[in-house]
Amino acid sequence: MRDAYHEELDSIGDSLVEMARLAGSAIGRATTAILDSDLKLAESVIEADQKVDELQHDLEARAIALLARQQPVATDLRIVVTSLRMSADLERSGDLAQHVAKLARLRFPQRAVPQDLHATILEMGQLAQRLMAKAAEVIITKDVDLAMQLEQDDDEIDQLHRTLFQHLIDDRWKHGIETAVDVTLLGRYYERYADHAVAVAKRVVYLVTGEHADELQADIKPVTGVEGA
């Protein structure tokens, strides 16, 4: 019995890694799509999100079946419950990548991102993708030090997010309101995406150490200004 159990548990872990891989690829491609105004690429990202959703449904069904059949306790139980939560984070990350792609599609053939913010958005997209790659690695390796690194990367995203807002409220902003709205939402999507990647890593830390990396306040951050959370 225990062997079947561990096989099932491994396969749930594999699904989580696959979800992270897809969500990471999605945010990378969505960023390219919005910067290049590439409609085809945007549509492929929008479509591909279905695969992440399917993986989540499937994972959920298997996790519940595993709870019912094997009735794990203690750490094993915690792993299954935590996997359910991680899959929700990853599913949501996929949605956020899809939101970026939808914005690219909505503005096509225009570009949603003005040239002087191109570098900032590119960097946010790359960081987000890297965060998710590291989150996948943390799931595989259970490396607590690597998990802690994600918080630093997340600080970088927050810094870029602030840069974005400074651009927006600068008197010299000349791109009009619609673009300001787009950029505001984009910044929010990347920030939330990063939060979910960090949350995944933190949940692994909790499984390994039994301690919350912190009180998971990552998503209660200041959004529009320097002023505090």
Q: Which residues would be at the binding site for a second copy (CB under 8 A)?
A: 49, 53, 63-64, 67-68, 71, 73-74, 77-78, 81, 84-85, 88, 92, 95, 98-99, 102-103, 105-106, 165, 168-169, 173, 177-178, 180-182, 184-185, 188, 215, 219-220, 222-225, 227, 229
Q: Give the separation between CA 69 and CA 80, rounded to whole angstroms.
A: 13
Closest CA to 12 of 58, 77, 52: 58
Q: Judged by CB, which is closer to a second copy: 142, or 188? A: 188
Quote the least distance from Cβ 227 to a second copy, whole Å.
Answer: 5
Quote the least distance from Cβ 96 to a second copy, whole Å.
Answer: 10
Q: Judged by CB, which is closer to a second copy: 110, or 126? A: 110
Quote the least distance from Cβ 68 to a second copy, whole Å.
Answer: 5
Q: Is the dihedral angle over the CA atoms 94, 99, 102, 104 positive or is it negative?
A: negative
CA geometry: angle at 196 spanning 114 and 10, to 5°?
135
End-to-end CA distance of the chain: 48
Quote the least distance from Cβ 168 to a second copy, whole Å.
Answer: 6
Tokens of 49: 């999100």
Q: Judged by CB, which is closer to a second copy: 134, or 167? A: 167
Q: Give the separation between CA 103 and CA 33, rounded to whole angstroms.
A: 10
